[in-house]
Chain A
Amino acid sequence: MIGENVAAADRTRLMDMIIAAQSRLGYLSDETLSAIASEVGIAYVDVVDTASFYAFFSRAPQGRCQIRFSKTPVSLVKGAADVVRAFEKALATPLGTTSPDGITLNWTSDIGMADQEPACLINGTVFANLEPADAAGIVDEVRTMIANDALPGFPGYGNAAAFSSAKAGCASNVVLAGEVLFAPMTPGSGLRAALAMTPEEVIDEVRRSGLRGRGGAGFPTGMKWGLTRRANGEARYIICNADEGEPGTFKDRVLLVEAPGLVFEGLTIAGYALGAKIGLIYLRAEYAYLFGDLQRVLGERRRLGLLGERTGGREGFDFDIRIQLGAGAYICGEESALIESLEGKRGAPRDRPPYPTDRGYLGQPTSVNNVETLACVPRIIERGANWFSKIGTAESKGTKLMCLSGDCAKPGVYEVPFGITLNELLDLAGGADAEAVQVSGAAGECVAPKDFGRSLCYEDLSTAGSTMVFGPERDVLEIVLQFAEFFADESCGWCVPCRIGTVLLKENLEKTRHGLASREDLARLERLAGTVRKMSRCGLGQTAPNPILSTLRNFPHIYESKLIGGDDVRIDLQAALRDARALRTVSALKQDGA
């Protein structure tokens, strides 16, 4: 079990200790946090700082069973609200509360299941393709498990086999396998090819392949490795970013299920190239159900000599991999926040410079790479940079995993060469009547049909893979509002423009959607979006206004049609007073009841 073998006083394992306490006790009391603080030898306030940050930790008693429904534009389109209502009914318990027998219902941010929504996590086990009719059966089974003390761990690593429900577990849905990532592989073949080269040659091969980061920013991987290797430090670290929090993406989950060996081998080759002794995988809590299988694959690779002492038979190369579980925070996908979290702190990003390649994990040179980026590496080393760089476009080499979801006939993962147009992708997935496509997740761009001819690659429409398709009957403003809510929930809160700005953007959008905004409000919305974009500290705040700005640009009519009263807005004071009175009555009642 995580956290049990952690040496006391190892602050970098604070996350594991808090996860263990949360699992054992169900919540984190002040006493628990104090005890952890004295065990690790840090201030109580530092433990509070970390424990209070993550969505999957709770400081108040909760039910033994946590049901978290994924709330995204896609899940809502697929009927998540009806599913939640059915669970509320089956439990006679409203969302956000706990039933008398200890079942807590909540929304959560995207859980990486956009191709199988509505979906939820029940104590870490994933349930997919839910319908309202499933609720009663699942609730009954959970109740029986609670009564027999047979519910898988809390928050647990999930165990679909423990449930009889056909909806437990998830599919990989690889609709189109390409020549790079989903081709068959022999464990060790890429590593052996790498060990036949010097570390510098490996970096050079990766540089010549043209491989760029698949996590969003598209930074050239060979260059990042070169910078890390050349930086001054006592140790070097390679980190695999498996936080995959961007709404609508699930390709890293599929890679970790279908080709974990490829990912581990990429990480091992990176370790050799950088001169690292340890590779860390930061796995989002939402994917905790993969933890056990991944550990088994790691164990198998150790037995094969592909990890551990004399890795791959190379004297002096003792490389191993550790998986660190997150605890529910989108911001921890941002590389410097991820590093902070790995060090046992809240996931607040760092200011740059210094960049992680100079001073990353524990202040040492560190390369953070996406799961998919690392999975490309063994192929490049085995088959050569020339082979890889023939696929794709001038600036975007290789294939890209696209995650199709929403209004399309065949949602799932598509491995396609870079440069494919959005139209071609929509045809493949059966989404030809799309009216709007959200490319690259909430932080990406909402594209209108006039731009469906654009190519998906770094030089045109850049994407990390998330492709959410919305048909003509969908309300674009509702989608934008959903993203605005996502950013307000996931802002780390460190800096002013994002902490407050994301909330104000959401409020302004709500006003617009309810038809209460004037032209002046719309101008304000745009100005505010600009402030958040320019003044925020990290990529989260800098991209949070993208859904708003791109829909204002590409779907202006949707906003126009909602405006009230032209330029001369008059308020119906009587109606406003009535609303205010109604609101006051509601809150007065709440206070009485409390």
Chain B
Amino acid sequence: MSAPALRFSVDGAPVEAKAGQTIIEACDDAGIYIPRLCYRADLPPGGQCRLCTCKVNGRYAAACVTPVTPAIAVENDTPELRAERNTIVEMLFVEGNHPCPFCEKSGNCDLQAMAYRFGLSATELTYQFPNRDIDATHPEIFLDRNTCILCGLCIRASRSADGKAVFGFENRGARTQLTVNSPDGLAGTDIATADRAAAVCPVGCIVVKGTGYETPYGERPYDRQPIGADIEAQRHPSAERKDADV
């Protein structure tokens, strides 16, 4: 017999989770989208971006690392959390250098797509205009740290999916940056274009050469549907929020 389902609620709607699931896993299964930038279902969670922060029984907790426990009340899509998440996305735009109009990742970029989903067009936060190194040592893969959001996905993917350790962090605080497993840059590592780590970057930092601008405007993934729409398409029509019934 399989373990009994755990019942809990998200914004008032009942949701079921399998034993051991995190809030984000259970919500993905239920077709409830919780915004995220540093999470992929098949990789261990890292808890870096904090975009998936919800209120769980009144306390702030990141959905990607918080296990479901019976009867918890999760607040996800509330005006307060929407505002806080907007600020986090804005923070990422001012922390790095993001020239979207001519970025290769445009239209396929989770950060840009999140800004569109949230309806953000400008920010009041102060741009930091950092000086960041690029790494062009590798014949096939290029690193443009200007757009890196330090989400850690490539680090986790390299370790858990590729069985390597190509990427890591360096320094701390605002000086944190992505680094690679060789003093000689990416060329000194054993990364391969087929690696999960080479494909996982949610922004335009890790670029496999020779694949740029392949998809015409209007047909790029996020031209067709907003980020999160694939998850929301799973939602059962009868599972609408309770408060929407009244």
Contact = CB atoms under 8 A, between A and B. Distances in A.
Contact of B168 (A30, A46, A508, A527): A46
B91 A497 contact: yes
A495 B50 contact: yes
B2 interface: no
A25 B135 CA distance: 29
Contacts of A43: 165, 168, 181
Contacts of A45: 165-168, 179-182
A52 B170 CA distance: 6
A105 to B, nearest CB: 20
B136 to A, nearest CB: 19
A359 interface: no
A353 B167 CA distance: 26
B193 interface: no
Nearest to B159: A43
B84 A48 contact: no
Contact of A504 (B45, B91, B182): B91
B167 to A, nearest CB: 7
B169 A49 contact: yes
A53 interface: yes
A26 B66 CA distance: 43
Interface string B25-67: 0000000000000000000010111110100000010100111
A499 B62 contact: no
Given A351-B65, A490-B173, A531-B84, A496 B48 contact: yes
A493 interface: yes
Contacts of A531: 84, 87-88
B171 A493 contact: yes
Contacts of B62: 351, 537
B172 interface: yes
Contacts of A49: 168-170, 179
B50 A536 contact: yes
A116 B81 CA distance: 45
Contacts of A46: 165, 168
Contacts of A494: 47-48, 176
A46 B53 CA distance: 28
Nearest to B69: A353
B95 interface: yes
Contacts of A508: 126
Interface in A204-260: none
A493 B150 contact: yes
Interface residues of B, number: 42
| Chain A interface residue number, banded | 35 or more
A500 B91 CA distance: 6
B45 to A, nearest CB: 8
Nearest to B165: A43
A491 B176 CA distance: 10
B190 to A, nearest CB: 10
B100 interface: no
A493 B176 contact: yes
B172 A492 contact: yes
Contact of B172 (A491, A496, A500): A491
B175 interface: yes
B208 interface: no
Interface in A48-96: 48-49, 52-53
B187 interface: no
B125 interface: yes
Nearest to B60: A534
Interface in A425-469: none
Q: Which of A499, A501, A503 has the most CB atoms of chain B within a 10 A radius of its CB?
A: A499
Given A44-B182, A49-B170, A500-B92, A493 B128 contact: no
A182 B115 CA distance: 58
A496 B179 contact: no
A490 B171 CA distance: 11
A516 to B, nearest CB: 12
Interface in A104-119: none
A535 B176 contact: no
B168 A48 contact: yes
Contacts of B3: none
A507 B87 CA distance: 16
B50 A492 contact: no
Q: Which of B84, B166, B174 has the most CB atoms of chain A within a 10 A radius of its CB?
A: B174
A593 to B, nearest CB: 17
A499 B88 contact: no
B214 interface: no
Interface in B170-212: 170-176, 179-183
Contacts of A535: 50, 53, 60, 84, 87-88
B91 A501 contact: yes
B126 A537 contact: no
A492 B173 contact: yes
Contacts of B95: 496, 499-500
Contacts of A527: 87
A394 to B, nearest CB: 25
Contacts of A371: none
Interface string B113-155: 0000000000011101000000000000000000001100000
Q: Which of A48, A329, A488, A496 has the most CB atoms of chain B within a 10 A radius of its CB?
A: A496
Contacts of B48: 494-496
B94 interface: yes
Contacts of B172: 52-53, 329, 346, 491-493
Contacts of B169: 49, 346, 493
A496 B49 contact: yes
Contact of B49 (A48, A495, A501, A504): A495
Contacts of B51: 496
A34 interface: yes
A536 B48 CA distance: 9
A528 interface: yes
Interface string B208-235: 0000000000000000000000000000
A53 B174 contact: no
Given A30-B183, A44-B181, A535-B60, A496 B174 contact: no
A48 B169 CA distance: 8
A526 interface: no
Contacts of B47: 351, 494-495, 537
Interface of A: 30, 34, 43-46, 48-49, 52-53, 329, 346, 351, 353, 488-497, 499-504, 507-508, 524, 527-528, 530-531, 534-537
The 6 A-B pairs of least Cβ separation, nearest first, read A493-B176, A45-B168, A43-B165, A30-B183, A45-B181, A351-B65
Given A45-B181, A52-B171, A496-B91, 8 more contacts: A45-B166, A497-B50, A499-B174, A500-B94, A503-B174, A504-B126, A531-B87, A531-B88
Interface of B: 45, 47-51, 53, 60, 62, 65-67, 84, 87-88, 91-92, 94-95, 124-126, 128, 149-150, 165-176, 179-183
19 contacts: A34-B183, A44-B181, A46-B165, A48-B168, A489-B173, A491-B172, A491-B173, A493-B150, A494-B48, A495-B49, A496-B92, A496-B149, A500-B95, A500-B174, A501-B91, A504-B126, A524-B124, A530-B84, A535-B53
